[in-house]
Structure 1
Amino acid sequence: MVKSLAQTPANPDPRSQQGEQRPASPRRDKKSNAATGASAAGVRAIGSQAVAFYFRAPVKAFFRTRVEVGAILYTSYLQILGTLHHPSSQSLKRIYPPPPVHSTFLAGFSAGAIQAVIAAPLDALSVRFKTSEVLSGRYNTMWQYGRSKLHEIGPRGVFAGFGLSFVKDSFGYAAFFATFEYVKAQAYYAFVAKYYGDLRGHLVSPLLTPKLDGAGPVDMIKSHYAIEPTFLMLGGITASICQQIVQHPVNLIQSVHYKSLAYLDKQAKIDQPRSAMLQNYYSAYKKTYEQCLVHVRRAGSWRSWLYRGFLVNTIKQVPSTSAGLVIFELVRRRYGSDSAAVRIEKDGYDILLT
């Protein structure tokens, strides 16, 4: 049975046993958070585009690269998590105790909400993108097309349908980060304790390494190097699937709602009171619900319609998302301090997690 899970120095200093205080771990700075976020966002964006080309995605898939938006997402998550969970704000390679699920869920929710606001202009362009307009010769660059289109639809058009985007990104990334952090930390620690705790007799002996300290010999087991990377990859895959469970149905509802954007864009250009525009938005959502009911009747149930094509879409998303999370974790540890290690203390021996 596991007695405790404690964070201790990898190479204990005899001076520490005489009451000398160890210096506090340095706080993780914003630059390291930004570097971690940019690296993870870049890998995820490149991976998603490679999969998009493989599945013959249209030209407007380029709008979804959004490396800078992804960097904001990951950086915001790290900053918010450090505020909610103090150990996560320290520059350590391994965070212990790991952040609880409610902290990672809230940090992911907040980071997703921030991304929804930042990504609104790009989403507006992606939805209204027409290849014929770009190829007409009116625009020399995609940037020129984007500026012209945003000026045409105005601020109201940019945030048309923002409610659905907010729900999709906030709850989607809440599930995304909470699942990833739980699998790669809590589940990993529990597995190691259970696996090595069940070993007895001759199975344990080859794994033990004598360690001498001031109190005498202490047997120590170093966990297998392949276990943690396995949980890291498993966490990325599981997080991507959980994210799709939340976001896939909202994407289908959005595809129906976006059909009314042409009408909303025309209404937004008319000089009318704010209350009248809010009524137009309400009517658009009401019409979207009625159209969704038509699709549900054809499919037979809400679940059958909302999760139509879920498997194929998830297969597309898992590789890039998992790779992005792995890079996210590796770069986060790259900027961490290796002054401490986590061990699981057991009867007669310790399990060391380096």
Structure 2
Amino acid sequence: MAQRAVIDRPQGYVRAVSPSGQPGERWSWRMTSPVMLAHAVRTQGWTFIPSQVLPPLLANTAISAVCYATYLQALAALDPRSSGALKRVYPPPPFSTTFTAGAAAGAAQSLFAAPFDALQVRFRASELLHGKYSNMWSYAYHRLRAIGLRGIFAGSSLSLCKDSVGYGLFFGTFEFLKSQCFYTFVSQYYGSFGTLSPAKQDLIRSQQTGESSDLISTIEPHYMIEPIFIMAAGVAASFAQQLVQYPLSRVQDVYHGRLAGIDTGSMDGRGAPRPTALHLYQRAYVKTFRRVVVSARRSFQTGPAGLVSWLYHGMLSNTLRQVPSASVGLMAFEVIRRKYALEADVVRIHIESGYDILLA
């Protein structure tokens, strides 16, 4: 799955304490995350991991757990057949059902991740380097206390839209290709006796003439077909998700760029929020849209075409970087889900030629 990048900004602190990975420096193996982390541990001590690295890792884990758990619960509520811990559900739930469950998962993740997002967009490695905060735990406590609920949920409507629609497309596309397209392909590819391989034809004949001839003959598809569909579904799901999330993320970046000024400008001398703080956050949306239009006009051209070009600029390369991790994550998700599913559950696709396609 396309994981929320809560840890990206804190990685900047690891990069800041490393002699490599500075702006303008040519890439080398010393700039890789493991090497920079090892250098940070040598210079800062082993306490660097629980104080600086562990908090964002725990945040990413918790956010992913909320997303997947909500998706499974929502899918079970919308499609009761999916609530029985089965390896397969045949026929699979329609796209509208998985999209709705994914949208619910994205909405839950967006609300749960709001405090982490607020910390991420306001993170500055220099504040830790100069001793303003002793560690990530201290940074999170004091920063959240300073910005309050208004600051935590600033821009939450944009995040809610981005995550709900994005994850609706993500899970809907993944389940559609992994299940519906897979079953359709298997039914058509193995659905005619005359097009089967000689080995499978002989297997069916031997079953029909053997001692168990009263039972329906069965064949199994090649074991590599389903993993290929799962990997392809992961790739397609990543692209479908980015069609929504990438342009909204670019708008969100512009909005987040205004948060620091809003946070400081919405406080009086005693540090108490002024009554106009909420209006400042709301007005930031209007200013953000104007800034986006100006940026699109400068980079490309005026009109809707220029705006679309600016919103999707760089999406392909960004998505290609996420595809491997998303595909591997979905594959691991499927393996774990099937490992703890009911072993006796199998799917039989009946073919009119007199045999079944067995999917264990």
State the TM-score, normalized to the length of structure 1. Answer: 0.79
Q: Which residue of 2 aligns with 1:281?
A: 281
Shift of 1:144: 0.9
Q: Which residue of 2 aligns with 1:311?
A: 316
> In the TM superposition, what are the counterparts of 1:12-91 in structure 2 within 5 Å?
63=56, 66-91=60-85
- Letter of the 1:196 counterpart: Y
Contact conserved, 1:98 with 1:185, CA < 8 A, in 2? yes
Distance 1:97 1:234, change over 3 A: same
Q: Distance in 2 between matches of 1:302 and 1:213?
A: 70
Classify the secondary structure of the residue corresponding to 1:200: helix
Shift of 1:218: 3.0
Q: Does residue 248 of structure 2 align to residue 250 of structure 1?
A: yes
Q: Which residue of 2 aligns with 1:25?
A: none
> In the TM superposition, what are the counterparts of 1:1-354 in structure 2 within 5 Å?
63=56, 66-198=60-192, 200=194, 203=197, 205-206=201-202, 208=204, 210=207, 216-270=214-268, 271-273=273-275, 276-298=276-298, 299-300=300-301, 301-346=306-351, 347-354=353-360
What CA deviation, in whole Å up to 9, does each residue of 1:83-126 have, x standing for no partner? 11011100211122211111111111011111111111111111
- Letter of the 1:306 counterpart: L
Q: Distance in 2 between matches of 1:308 and 1:93?
A: 40
State the TM-score, normalized to the length of structure 2. Answer: 0.78
Q: Which residue of 2 aligns with 1:27?
A: none
Classify the secondary structure of the residue corresponding to 2:216: strand
Q: Which residue of 2 aligns with 1:12?
A: none
Q: Distance in 1 between matches of 2:203 and 2:92?
A: 26
- Letter of the 1:75 counterpart: A
Classify the secondary structure of the residue corresponding to 1:157: helix
Contact conserved, 2:6 with 2:116, CA < 8 A, in 1? no
Q: Distance in 2 between matches of 1:168 and 1:213?
A: 59
Shift of 1:349: 1.4
Of residues 285-294 and 335-344 in structure 1, the stretch that sits farther from structure 2 once superposed is: 335-344
Classify the secondary structure of the residue corresponding to 1:352: strand
- Letter of the 1:257 counterpart: Y
Shift of 1:127: 0.6
Shift of 1:278: 3.7
What CA deviation, in whole Å up to 9, does each residue of 1:247-290 have, x standing for no partner? 110111011111211232134435444xx444322311000010
Classify the secondary structure of the residue corresponding to 2:88: coil
Q: Distance in 2 between matches of 1:257 and 1:192?
A: 47
Classify the secondary structure of the residue corresponding to 1:344: strand
Classify the secondary structure of the residue corresponding to 1:351: strand
What CA deviation, in whole Å up to 9, does each residue of 1:54-87 have, x standing for no partner? 9978999984761111111101111111111011
Of residues 185-194 and 303-312 in structure 1, the stretch that sits farther from structure 2 once superposed is: 303-312
Shift of 1:234: 1.0
Classify the secondary structure of the residue corresponding to 2:250: helix
- Letter of the 2:340 counterpart: Y
Distance 1:283 1:147, change over 3 A: same
- Letter of the 1:228 counterpart: E
Q: Distance in 1 between matches of 2:69 and 2:285?
A: 33
Distance 1:153 1:243, change over 3 A: same
Contact conserved, 1:41 with 1:70, CA < 8 A, in 2? no
More contact order relative to length (CA 8 Å, sep ≥ 6)? 1
CA RMSD of aligned residues (A): 3.0
Shift of 1:199: 5.2
Shift of 1:244: 1.2
Classify the secondary structure of the residue corresponding to 2:93: coil
Structure 2 residue runs without a partner (length 5+): 16-20, 22-28, 38-51
Q: Distance in 2 between matches of 1:133 and 1:45?
A: 18
Task: Please identify which structure carries the higher strand content.
Answer: 1
Distance 1:201 1:157, change over 3 A: closer
Contact conserved, 2:2 with 2:238, CA < 8 A, in 1? no
Task: Give the ranges of 4+ consecutive aligned residues of structure 1 lying more than 6 Å apart after TM superposition.
Answer: 52-62, 211-215
Q: Which residue of 2 aligns with 1:16?
A: none
Contact conserved, 1:237 with 1:318, CA < 8 A, in 2? yes
Classify the secondary structure of the residue corresponding to 2:207: strand
Contact conserved, 2:258 with 2:284, CA < 8 A, in 1? yes
Q: Distance in 2 between matches of 1:102 and 1:327?
A: 24
Q: Which residue of 1 aligns with 2:25?
A: none
